[in-house]
Structure 1
């Protein structure tokens, strides 16, 4: 059944109708004149906090909001009327005034005329002329305001006017109203707060003036509706009697009070509108046949003189390409040549330019390079599995024939890697690059933070250490750093077909959002839809999804494409009602349920799993011929991925040791890298682990291995003359190797290929360390290409160390190391390689599992592939 309705003046912003006509859900709406910044960030939490109040009727008198408005305009509550949008108030005021004559400049808001005629008024129009930019000429208006009809006359003026954007100076307007004290003036200030001259007549309002304001437009709450009228007490009382009870709902009343208190939002909105309006005007003026009229609001009126297009044709053609414009032929005084364009954010205005140029000047149109298609994984918290899922999607896209690259703007991790050109970057992005079969590139992780204390980190930008900063000092430099991040992204994205981005932590960390460069701000810059990942194995995943969405602002919520449940154990069909509930609460679908993937065989992103003691090894328990290798968990442990290859060996169990009484009598102890060697050396002593290591050094069965920082700790002296790690006082090492280490500001970062002298095997890895180590009487193990000693041993090779990260990745050397431990136990060994540390099969297994778990068709549509 079709519902027949009488024809009404058309307005912009009818999204359901526009989407139906355009055939797309991704419409960019330039037809509605709302604040382009979108609603303030406090809107959603404020509404959520008052949802429980909806069980009660709203205050029919809007008492609290009325008082707030009165205080805002320094007037009395009886001169304030609150309405369900400015449109309702317009009806009430015209009916309450009961005037017989309306004088209105045209073109102007069409409802002025319609509402007046609906209530039996005679309408006299004053034509605004194009020759002076549709500005109102006061002399012309005042000739219509003879005192004989003043008592029955209402003048309505838009301030600024819709659709022309013209505006009178406040002094001119006040002078006009005062010169005609017996004429009633209704000043529509619906767009005033978004104009360059926001001085309201509501402050020190003349007695014969009524002021109308639309919070709907100023605060982008068109679906909530809220308007304010200021007038004499008798008129306001009469209008209240005409107004239906409970016209303004509870939520709108609460929003109104908060809105009037938010002066900062209004100031930011005006500045944003001013900047974007200028850019929009300059762009439109370059189009053939388009004339742009000067305006002072958040929209511009244009005239189209084109041999093939009327404005109506143009709006229809643009609509088919996802752009909604407002044809203005239903405004009195305008014909089929005129259209109106709302001010929108820069990215949307660039899209408008592309569409209009293609329609109006196809020969002149130069194809604009669109942003490289992208998608981003963010999490409800740390260790939700973002890095692994990013790697999985990278490999899936690679398998499907795309040239894909990973990107993480900022990584905080003590696990790092050195690229071919000596740049340092996070291991997670190295792993993701491998999934894409690309060489690691520091542009994939332009900012790496390596914590060296509870409150500070070493800052690495584009592979190079730039110093250490307290977190607060780093936050103050975020704006400049983000510019470098964006340049890195643009450069990398220009070389690839698809980008897969990873966020950090959670986008809902409200104490960090203002300086965000890695989550939603990065997603918006890359135009990347966001998949929000939650770890169901931890519990509370649905609350995390809904709670995260509640803490995002509207632009951020729009960026979210859906959710991914990670690490699920069980029957997916049992989640049905929970998935439906998540969609109802958030408006976003669950786009995949990824099963719990044990023993991926891929490097961990950070130390979260390691610190939780969740190392997975091929040998779950010590068997009769199984080796026991202990790795010391240091407070500032770094590059613990050096042991990853050992965990795949079937005759080895790797375990994490934190306390001296946990050490026991292992076959080998590995002292790993550290970001603060001095502090971790002190920790070894205070915890009793240092004494146990010295005892094990005398055990003929045990081998002690130090890697990088661990290598330095095994020495006799650690000197820090530049206080890189804190104190300048020399510190005694464990004394197990004759080494003297001096930390220097310059950092060694290089890839190294060398020969392990005792075994003859080739090693490939990388060095990341401060300072230099000298040795006296040390059995050399390896030299780098510069001839520098990067490893040495004592006690028949049972105590040894090296600066080379990744040495256990080499299968022949790793088996040689394991067999030497077996020989000490008197166990048989044949030199046969039992495990191959090859990530390729792991990537393919991961990709196959994740492909089956995700709605790949939906993801490809969102990416635009």
Structure 2
């Protein structure tokens, strides 16, 4: 029976009754800090492990001195205990009273303490019609000279604070009485209400550090009182009551006022949100409070607290049935303040149980899963695409989402919005049109310290990274709105993080990793790239640097790009799970020749982008690796051709005499122009143009570089001024503030082949002697060459080589120039669908999909 749960936080008993594993239980019965313990606690405990081989200081002297200094008291007025309860049980034995006066309802141990000390117990009922406020005048009337007064402040279970000035006057009026003021929950309320600063000899302050610092499994509390009382308590308390780790934690906690202030701010906000949600459920009457919990009365004719506790426990939710509190009947229960998503889940279940017609319907979150990495390029994007395609194959309506992407590879949607190329691929995996809501924030680095910020598909402005960091908190609500709109249209969301969630230098301002996961209530799978080495240390190290609430979001790990026999990983997997408490969801083998666009330039810069050089008649195509290269995926389709060797060129001595040179897009055409000049590549490319044996192609920024004068009057990509391009095309370019982002159809005039793609550029280019060769459907020219030689040409159209017909024509024309036989229709077809299906099959066979469906709740 659920009513057997007599105390909050008894998870072991809840597991026996409910059948749920402990990690799946949602505990609203224990009023512990919803933020969990502070980030410094885990490394602090790790640093103290070696001390476990020694006995702790029996008097906890260093901690006593720290507490005394914190409260401006003499150390003789402080005693430390293994939790506040241990000290509470000692107090009646040293105070010498015959009677106890206790307000009810109250923490049950007050009555047990008095009973155990053979005190006669008098109670003073707190009136519900007076909102459970303590009437000081009534308390004084009930008080006799022999009473020991025990008060919880704030009260448990009502959460109410007292009239402090009136209580202080009462204490001074009755010096013959002792007043035990249990302030175990005062850290969640306004500290100005604390009586710990009252120096009267008859006041004993009991303080628990268990609740505010979220260490109920560690146990730590203390008492502040007159030195004679403390001395008597020390004679009764056993030696070594407080272990060395608890002592170290207590000392460190006293130095961290910021954490308690953060806690109060968070609890205030979430308590009010929980109160509002509960007030919307007909059949429940929640009472406002001042602590980190709320008392609730059930007003339903056929449901009492025991029934409700039992029904919720079958859902894996524990509440505190208050029928054991004197003064409350079986229609009251207590709820701890927890995180927004946890409170939403609770209130959703309550709403269903009470079948209410609420003023405001509570909508549960769409099931969501998120791939985060131990570092950049761990394979998050590809695994996101894989799971999107797997879910689509299984008949699930699914959509991808990445709150913030930093990438120079972007695409334009049919609506003209710009977004990350990886999310476009993920949308295709879901068989959806690209939607800027899938990637609300796109950062396109334009220098070592700044990026162009694109919000919901449109340029916001170019910012220094520090400026963006300060404005990110204002941008986050917009990303949340995009997520909510998208999630409402689908059954499952698959999210992708960025970099690592353990970047401790800025993770507090993060909007793409754990903060987004918490908002979406997403189950996080941490991905590690074993091909780079150190994957198990990366898993353990990442978990160690996560805050406790972040660790709870992590469901487990996935190893990516594995080469070898998976059976050899056994011990390593087990040890990693032992260190972290998290399971592995799978090991994905390395998949060569994936055939899908890369998210960013990591693999490209590492040289893994280059194709293998084959024997026979193979065309040599050199892609110039510009420092600010963007949209290098424009040449992905060429990699699929069997007679193409595609290679990147960074230095002039690597150029040689290729059949084709491609100048790709660039996010900073002015800076990359300077690079071409200083590196000698500019001169070398001009020399190849003169030989007329090498075809030279410029795309977008590369198109601008092929021309003559380039002007930046609005300081879009430089400090202003102008530069001189390679001079291979008779045109001039002016960079403009307004950015062209257009998804378009076009035609290649010389071949008559249809084209499709998109434009993303700031510049406008004009030339009197420029021959149009690429024309949009609306008649606009977006590409040209010289009247004479046709082997030098450029275009603003990204994705020009994706069109099979044009790409085949282009490559066969190069072969004809070399005197080789054309291949024609026997060439490859550039279609990402087979590659996505291949990827999905590969990942499905490597991960535990049953476990993934389980964490999604499907």
Q: TM-score if structure 1 supplies the norm length?
A: 0.95
Which deviates further from its counterpart, 133-142 or 372-381?
133-142
Aligned pairs (5 A) from 1:497-516: 497-516=491-510
| Match status 1:536 vs 2:530 | yes
Deviation of the 1:305 alpha carbon = 4.0
What is the CA–CA distance in structure 1 between the aligned matches of 2:527 and 2:408, rounded to whole Å? 23
Q: Give the 3-state SS of the residue equivalent to 1:653 in structure 2.
A: strand
In structure 2, relative to structure 1, the CA distance for the partners of 1:210 and 1:503 (3 Å cut) is same
What is the CA–CA distance in structure 1 between the aligned matches of 2:290 and 2:825, rounded to whole Å? 80
Check whether the contact 1:109–1:331 (CA below 8 A) recurs between aligned residues: yes
What is the CA–CA distance in structure 2 between the aligned matches of 1:246 and 1:419, rounded to whole Å? 67
Check whether the contact 2:442–2:453 (CA below 8 A) recurs between aligned residues: yes
Deviation of the 1:287 alpha carbon = 4.1
What is the CA–CA distance in structure 2 between the aligned matches of 1:227 and 1:701, rounded to whole Å? 83
Q: Give the 3-state SS of the residue equivalent to 1:477 in structure 2.
A: helix
Check whether the contact 1:811–1:833 (CA below 8 A) recurs between aligned residues: no
The partner residue of 1:89 within 87, 96, 121 is: 87
In structure 2, relative to structure 1, the CA distance for the partners of 1:442 and 1:527 (3 Å cut) is same
What is the CA–CA distance in structure 2 between the aligned matches of 1:290 and 1:418, rounded to whole Å? 50
1:182-229, CA deviations, whole angstroms, 9 ceiling, x for partnerless residues? Answer: 221111111111124543222242111111011111122111111111
1:683-737, CA deviations, whole angstroms, 9 ceiling, x for partnerless residues? Answer: 0010111111111112232111111111111111101111111132221111111
Deviation of the 1:442 alpha carbon = 1.0
Q: Which residue in 2 is equivalent to 1:424?
A: 418
Deviation of the 1:294 alpha carbon = 4.3
What is the CA–CA distance in structure 2 between the aligned matches of 1:293 and 1:438, rounded to whole Å? 47
1:98-145, CA deviations, whole angstroms, 9 ceiling, x for partnerless residues? Answer: 543322222211111212222333323233333323333333333444
The partner residue of 1:17 within 9, 13, 24 is: 13
Deviation of the 1:827 alpha carbon = 1.7
1:323-344, CA deviations, whole angstroms, 9 ceiling, x for partnerless residues? Answer: 3221222222222232222222
Q: Which residue in 2 is equivalent to 1:73?
A: 71
In structure 2, relative to structure 1, the CA distance for the partners of 1:289 and 1:391 (3 Å cut) is closer
| Match status 1:863 vs 2:840 | no
1:618-659, CA deviations, whole angstroms, 9 ceiling, x for partnerless residues? Answer: xx2252311111111100000100111111111110111111
The partner residue of 1:245 within 239, 247, 250 is: 239
Q: TM-score if structure 2 supplies the norm length?
A: 0.96
| Match status 1:761 vs 2:753 | yes
Aligned pairs (5 A) from 1:571-590: 571-590=565-584
Aligned pairs (5 A) from 1:68-467: 68-147=66-145, 149=146, 153-196=147-190, 198-362=192-356, 368-467=362-461
Aligned pairs (5 A) from 1:540-555: 540-555=534-549
Aligned pairs (5 A) from 1:569-718: 569-617=563-611, 620-718=612-710
Deviation of the 1:492 alpha carbon = 1.2
What is the CA–CA distance in structure 2 between the aligned matches of 1:634 and 1:303, rounded to whole Å? 68
Q: Give the 3-state SS of the residue equivalent to 1:57 in structure 2.
A: coil
Q: Which residue in 2 is equivalent to 1:804?
A: 797
In structure 2, relative to structure 1, the CA distance for the partners of 1:497 and 1:295 (3 Å cut) is closer
Structure 2 unaligned spans of 5+ = none
The partner residue of 1:782 within 762, 768, 774 is: 774
1:385-420, CA deviations, whole angstroms, 9 ceiling, x for partnerless residues? Answer: 001000000110011011111111111111111111
Which deviates further from its counterpart, 362-371 or 743-752?
362-371
Which deviates further from its counterpart, 513-522 or 59-68?
59-68
Q: Give the 3-state SS of the residue equivalent to 2:845 in structure 1.
A: helix
What is the CA–CA distance in structure 2 between the aligned matches of 1:812 and 1:41, rounded to whole Å? 58
Deviation of the 1:167 alpha carbon = 2.6
Structure 1 unaligned spans of 5+ = 1-6
Check whether the contact 1:192–1:198 (CA below 8 A) recurs between aligned residues: no
What is the CA–CA distance in structure 1 between the aligned matches of 2:301 and 2:744, rounded to whole Å? 69
What is the CA–CA distance in structure 2 between the aligned matches of 1:313 and 1:744, rounded to whole Å? 68
Q: Give the 3-state SS of the residue equivalent to 1:155 in structure 2.
A: strand
Deviation of the 1:366 alpha carbon = 8.6
In structure 2, relative to structure 1, the CA distance for the partners of 1:285 and 1:385 (3 Å cut) is closer
In structure 2, relative to structure 1, the CA distance for the partners of 1:330 and 1:735 (3 Å cut) is same
Q: Which residue in 1 is equivalent to 2:739?
A: 747
Q: Give the 3-state SS of the residue equivalent to 1:820 in structure 2.
A: helix
| Match status 1:34 vs 2:32 | yes
What is the CA–CA distance in structure 1 between the aligned matches of 2:546 and 2:102, rounded to whole Å? 43
Which deviates further from its counterpart, 751-760 or 579-588?
751-760
1:455-509, CA deviations, whole angstroms, 9 ceiling, x for partnerless residues? Answer: 0011111111121011111111112211111111111111112111111101111
1:346-374, CA deviations, whole angstroms, 9 ceiling, x for partnerless residues? Answer: 33333332222332345769974321111
Which deviates further from its counterpart, 349-358 or 521-530?
349-358
Deviation of the 1:429 alpha carbon = 0.6
1:76-118, CA deviations, whole angstroms, 9 ceiling, x for partnerless residues? Answer: 1111111111111112223333543322222211111212222
Check whether the contact 1:196–1:297 (CA below 8 A) recurs between aligned residues: no
What is the CA–CA distance in structure 2 between the aligned matches of 1:750 and 1:803, rounded to whole Å? 10
What is the CA–CA distance in structure 1 between the aligned matches of 2:739 and 2:167, rounded to whole Å? 68
Q: Give the 3-state SS of the residue equivalent to 2:702 in structure 1.
A: helix
What is the CA–CA distance in structure 2 between the aligned matches of 1:128 and 1:420, rounded to whole Å? 65
| Match status 1:814 vs 2:802 | no
Which deviates further from its counterpart, 153-162 or 23-32?
23-32
| Match status 1:737 vs 2:737 | no
Q: Give the 3-state SS of the residue equivalent to 1:317 in structure 2.
A: helix
What is the CA–CA distance in structure 1 between the aligned matches of 2:687 and 2:84, rounded to whole Å? 83
1:734-785, CA deviations, whole angstroms, 9 ceiling, x for partnerless residues? Answer: 1111111111111111122222122221111111111210112223211223
In structure 2, relative to structure 1, the CA distance for the partners of 1:279 and 1:704 (3 Å cut) is closer
Deviation of the 1:265 alpha carbon = 2.2
What is the CA–CA distance in structure 2 between the aligned matches of 1:494 and 1:219, rounded to whole Å? 37
What is the CA–CA distance in structure 1 between the aligned matches of 2:300 and 2:726, rounded to whole Å? 85
In structure 2, relative to structure 1, the CA distance for the partners of 1:524 and 1:696 (3 Å cut) is same
Q: Give the 3-state SS of the residue equivalent to 1:853 in structure 2.
A: coil
Deviation of the 1:18 alpha carbon = 1.7
What is the CA–CA distance in structure 2 between the aligned matches of 1:221 and 1:396, rounded to whole Å? 41
Which deviates further from its counterpart, 449-458 or 507-516?
507-516
Check whether the contact 2:281–2:356 (CA below 8 A) recurs between aligned residues: no
What is the CA–CA distance in structure 1 between the aligned matches of 2:139 and 2:605, rounded to whole Å? 78
Q: Which residue in 1 is equivalent to 2:843?
A: 850
In structure 2, relative to structure 1, the CA distance for the partners of 1:146 and 1:752 (3 Å cut) is closer
Q: Give the 3-state SS of the residue equivalent to 2:825 in structure 1.
A: coil
